[in-house]
Structure 1
Amino acid sequence: MEAPNFHLTMGNWLANHWLSVLFLVSWLGLNIFLFVYAFLNYEKSDKYFYTREILGTALAFARASALCLNFNSMVILLPVCRNLLSFLRGTCSFCNRTLRKPLDHNLIFHKLVAYMICVFTAIHVVAHLFNFERYSRSQQAMDGSLASVLSNLAHEKEGDSWLNPIHSPNTTVMYATFTSVAGLTGVIATTALVLMVTSAVEFIRRNYFELFWYTHHLFIVYIICLGIHGLGGIVRGQTEESIGESHPNNCSNSFREWDKYEWSCRRPHFVGHPPESWKWIVAPIALYIFERILRFYRSQQKVVITKVVMHPSKVLELQMRKRGFSMEVGQYIFVNCPSISFLEWHPFTLTSAPEEEFFSIHIRAAGDWTENLIRTFERQHSPLPRIEVDGPFGTVSEDVFQYEVAVLVGAGIGVTPFASILKSIWYKFQRADNKLKTQKIYFYWICRETGAFAWFNNLLNSLEQEMEELGKMDFLNYRLFLTGWDSNIAGHAALNFDKATDVLTGLKQKTSFGRPMWDNEFSRIAAAHPKSVVGVFLCGPRTLAKSLRRCCQRYSSLDPRKVQFYFNKETF
């Protein structure tokens, strides 16, 4: 099959992601609109005529970026309200898969909003650095200019109607920053934001998850500082009454004669801009607090550990029961072990099937917390350490049975969501479920070491036997790939290649050495299912995701009646 050109690939991508693109364009459009609206308001409004005499255009930049910061700070918590997303996913279960697609990109959108907050924070901070410097210069000026006169308006007289927050020529910018509500909260909020963003990079998140987890909760500090940031009322504008009495267009040129004669213009009166940030964030904060209360309540329900299994390659399997627990394939839970840490919760994909009486997870040693957990279960046989569970939460893998053909790709421990799917298929075959829409599953498992295959050998062996007995050997096509081997392993496998079962796994399917040739695999699947909708599901690294996403776009037809590949990646 000849690979389509760039235009067809882009067309396929837009056809599959048009709603996500529309959502992002709308969000970007709102940011642009809010910025331009606020910028023009502060740049043109008569209310801030005198404020602009001191600050110039930096005033408009500071206020426009502040409005966009409020908007994005309102939005950023919504993508991490997992119960809300699970509810929406359940509500949209009857919807077209394109309508559910944006829900699968919640963490990507969360990151985009965070980057936007960083951009507007930088603009806001730089603009206010210029503002404070100009406040200081105009306060120290002795040239009798309008800016100098405005800066020296009495702070204690006429209703506290001052314009310059730096009240004395001896006050430094640093002192004014750290002694004002706006300055101090701004410094604290910016510091918290920098720590959150820098500790959220992939390297730290994967290798030092605890550092990421703790620093990310500085969002509480950020939100509090944002809510009270405007209480100082540093940005001030002329009151409506004062404008009516002494309009700046008529009185700004005669500022030396203000209040001098009865017919002179009156001295302008100013009022601080009322705080508005809290109005933007109060609703999402209330929703997030409800989310946390619900999660806390569910986490306090008793969890009974029914079985503990230590697998090769330092993988711990926990089988558990919990009253009222109900799951779907591919979902995940958050797990806490109070004996290790009261605060840390870590996500794990469920490896059990909905048809089973228990739920299970497989935990690989990949950091301090997981290593301590595995060590704790290795040492303690009775009583077992207490485990708290929150969830389950929905993921993209829930949609696997909505496709006629499904391609499942797991890398290492990334096989866990597909173990749940394969187990559920086994039960459906056992119970002769005629409602199963899926007609064919291609399963690829890529591992670095042979010991990893032992995690689900029994499951794959059971599936082989069950489908052979039912005459459905064509339903599941699975392939195992070993990416890390030496000459001894390869030689041993070659010498025993003619045996009925694989020498490494004991399964009928032989283990392949190296990585899949994805173009060949997709070409073969597209040829075998020329008019099918194919769902491609991945739980694995970003580099593999790029390859699979590119193949999905390349081998999908623009004709909706022909083969269509939809890429789905696990993120939590």
Structure 2
Amino acid sequence: CVCVRTAARQLDRNLTFHKLVAYMIALHTAIHIIAHLFNFERFMDSQLMINSSYLPYVLSQIGNNDNRSYLNPIRTNETNPTIVMFTTIAGLTGVVITLALILIITSSMEVIRRSYFEVFWFTHHLFIVFFIGLVLHGVGRIVRGQTIESVKVHKPDECHSRFEDWGKNGTDCPEPVFAGNPPMTWKWVVGPMILYVCERLVRFYRSQQKVVITKVVMHPSKTLELQMKKKGFKMEVGQYVFIKCPSISQLEWHPFTLTSAPEEDHLSVHIRIVGDWTQALYTACGGDKTVVQDAWTLPKVAVDGPFGTASEDVFRYEVVMLVGAGIGVTPFASVLKSVWYKHVQENKNVFTKKIYFYWLCPETQAFEWFADLLQSLERQMMEKDMSDFLSYNIYLTRWKDAEAAHFRVQYEAEDDPITGLKQKTRYGKPNWDNEFSAIATQHPGSKVGVFLCGPTALATALGKQCISHTESGTEFIFNKENF
């Protein structure tokens, strides 16, 4: 089981692998272009006998009579790299491939993905143009070499220094014969393309399965909660789905982390309204209306998934630290719900006795929808006399002066003025050294699972804390979740 989970987690890093492959494609494309620019300059110099020894010039003149058995693809003195670029198959497809790659890379920057997801989504599909151009790139056979038959009679090692005698009567070095190398790229592309087409067919089949929106909740912070039902749908904590709304776009699928628990009879997602597509979905679900919408007026949606590795490891530790930053808190909604359900059902496979939950957020509006969940858990745990099971620490990392004044006035209130919880919101950032020391003191000799969904800088800091505080006797095991 451990090996399977480890392998699954490696596969779940497909996004990192995808980015690394993209960087390597971009790097080798740049190297390829630069090499050809130098190559074309040498071809032209050889054709014009400029900055060239006599041998390259002789090689460039081969094939002038029949224009078939040539080596130098530049067949005239009146040309330049620009003309070659736009008059050859290799040049034209090279320009198209390069432009497609530039658009894909530039539109993949985080600022574009976050604010203009549709631009990122559609531009990313230029990979189809990229691969078609890649397959056609070598059709013109501009890269040429000596034929096998010619090598047998014109041996390069023996004849390269006797180029003045090539083709003369009585010589054992006839004029070499050259031919273009056949295109090979299709052999590397056809397999992945077949897999891609199969994946699209599976997604199309899944998109035809009926999904019913059973409940829509409009949270004050322009966060849309959709509760849905789909026959045969099974999930685990920490997974995500792709959602399409045909009335908005027939092509766009958007990924969202599941916030429901496996024990619930529905699946739910929380969607922040940050782009054109999410705004259109918000409007279609009646977010801009004050009256309750009838179920039949709600838009039809398609759900594909779930995907991702289940975060079942959370349940394998007696003590757990959950750390979410900003929207990174979303997957922990499913985790917290599932842990609660498992305890209520007295599931013997759950070893968790204590959860320390940390949430770092830069704005008060983001607290609203998740605070509802925490309030519900807080109330249920008090009813079950399990108040000590969950300790939550919410940190507001940025605030305005007016907000600070209001918080000071309301601080003595029984409930927190921001979240409505019994536990007060803290300001600034946690002192992780103190937090880890306190947990190590509370749980000596225990194994503590530390789960983070947040930025790399925070992951680095927590990883160092796990290492330094493990020496104290309590073992901290760091897990960076990929949601």
Alpha-carbon distance, 1:528 to partner: 3.3
CA distance in 2, matches of 1:338, 1:211: 18
Change (3 A) 1:541 1:366: farther
Instruction: Name the counterpart of 2:479.
Output: 567
Amino acid at match of 1:415: V
Describe how 1:374-389 pairs up with structure 2 within 5 A. 374-377=282-285, 378-379=287-288, 381-382=293-294, 383-389=297-303
User: Counterpart of 2:137 in 1: which secondary structure?
Assistant: helix
Residue 178 (structure 1) aligned with residue 90 (structure 2): no
Return the offset for 1:386. Answer: 1.9
- 1:272 equivalent in structure 2: 180
Q: Give the match's secondary structure for 2:322.
A: strand
- The secondary structure found in structure 2 opposite 1:232 is coil
428, 436, 452: which one aligns with 1:522: 436
Equivalent position of 1:149 in the other structure: 58
Distance 1:398 1:152, change over 3 A: farther
What's the counterpart of residue 42 of structure 1? none
Counterpart of 1:409 in 2: which secondary structure?
A: strand
Residues 396, 569 of structure 1: 8 Å contact kept: no
Higher mean C-alpha displacement, 184-193 vs 478-487: 478-487
Measure how far apart 1:193 and its partner are: 1.0
Compared CA separation, residues 230 and 397, structure 1 to 2 (3 A):
same
* Alignment CA distance shift 1:449-1:201 (3 Å): closer
Question: Are residue 344 (structure 1) and residue 252 (structure 2) matched?
Answer: yes
Distance 2:11 2:250 in 1: 30
CA 1:436–1:566: 2 relative to 1, 3 Å: same
Question: Partner amino acid for 1:427?
Answer: Y
- Aligned partner of 2:220 among 303, 307, 312: 312
Change (3 A) 1:348 1:401: same
For 1:410 and 1:116, locate their aligned partners in 2 and report how far apart those are by CA, in whole Å.
Answer: 31
Out of 113, 128, 133, the position equivalent to 2:41 is 133
In 2, Cα distance between equivalents of 1:270 and 1:202: 49
Partner of 2:203: 295
Counterpart for residue 18 of structure 2:
110
Q: Distance in 1 between matches of 2:324 and 2:78?
A: 66
Q: CA deviation at 1:125?
A: 0.6
What residue in structure 2 maps to residue 24 of structure 1? none
Change (3 A) 1:224 1:523: farther
Q: In 2 relative to 1, CA 161–308 (structure 1 residues): closer, same or farther, beyond 3 Å?
A: same
Match of 1:436 among 335, 339, 350: 350
Q: What is the distance in 2 between the residues matched to 1:532 and 1:279?
A: 54
Counterpart Cα distance in 1 of 2:46 and 2:411? 86
Q: CA deviation at 1:461?
A: 3.0
Looking at structure 2, the residues matched to 191 and 556 of structure 1 have their Cα atoms a distance apart, in angstroms, of 51
Unaligned runs of 5+ in 2: none
Picking from 397, 407, 413, the partner of 2:321 is: 407
Distance in 2 (CA, whole Å) between partners of 1:503 and 1:198 is 42
Q: Report how far residue 268 of structure 1 moved.
A: 0.7
Pick from 390, 401, 411: which aligns with 2:304? Answer: 390
**Which residue of structure 1 lines up, in the alignment, with residue 367 of structure 2?**
453
- Which residue identity does 1:564 align to in structure 2? F
CA shift, 1:503, in A, is: 4.1
- Worse overlay, 442-451 or 136-145: 136-145
Q: More helix per residue: 1 or 2?
A: 1
Give the alignment of 1:44-63 within 5 angstroms. none
Equivalent pairs, count: 476
3-state secondary structure, aligned to 1:266 = coil
- Secondary structure (helix, strand or coil) at the match of 1:253 reads helix
Amino acid paired to 1:253: S
Equivalent residue of 2:313, what SS? helix
The amino acid that maps onto 1:524 is A
**Structure 2 CA distance for aligned equivalents of residues 565 and 119 of structure 1:** 36
More divergent stretch after superposition (468-477 vs 514-523): 468-477
Residue equivalent to 1:480: 394
TM-score for the superposition, normalised by structure 2: 0.90
Q: Distance in 2 between matches of 1:176 and 1:164?
A: 12
User: Kindly tell me: are residues 506 and 379 of structure 1, through their superposed partners in 2, closer, same or farther at Cα, counting changes over 3 Å?
Assistant: closer
1:87-236, aligned counterparts within 5 Å? 94-95=2-3, 98-141=6-49, 145-154=54-63, 157=66, 160-236=68-144
Deviation for aligned residue 1:450: 3.8
CA contact (8 A) 1:351 1:359 kept: yes
Name the SS of the counterpart of 1:231 in structure 2.
Answer: coil
Q: 1:144 to 1:491 in 2, by over 3 A?
A: closer
**Residue correspondence of structure 1 range 23-38 to structure 2 within 5 A:** none
1:300-330 deviations in whole A, cap 9, x for unaligned? 2121111111111111111111122111112
Instruction: Please give the per-residue CA displacement for 1:454-512, whole angstroms capped at 9, x wherever unaligned.
Output: 31344323323443444443322112222344556555555555555434433222222
The equivalent residue for 1:536 is: 450
Contact 1:396-1:570 at 8 Å conserved across structures: no
Q: Which amino acid aligns with 1:426?
A: W
Query: How far apart in 2 are the matches of 1:156 and 1:222?
Result: 37
Secondary structure, counterpart of 2:340 in structure 1: helix
Q: What is the root-mean-square deviation in Å for CA atoms of aligned residues?
A: 2.6
In structure 1, stretches of 5+ residues that fail to align are: 1-92
SS in 2 for 1:310: strand
- Over the matched positions of the two proteins, sequence identity in percent amounts to 56
CA distance in 2, matches of 1:522, 1:223: 50
Report which structure shows greater RCO (CA 8 Å, sep ≥6): 1
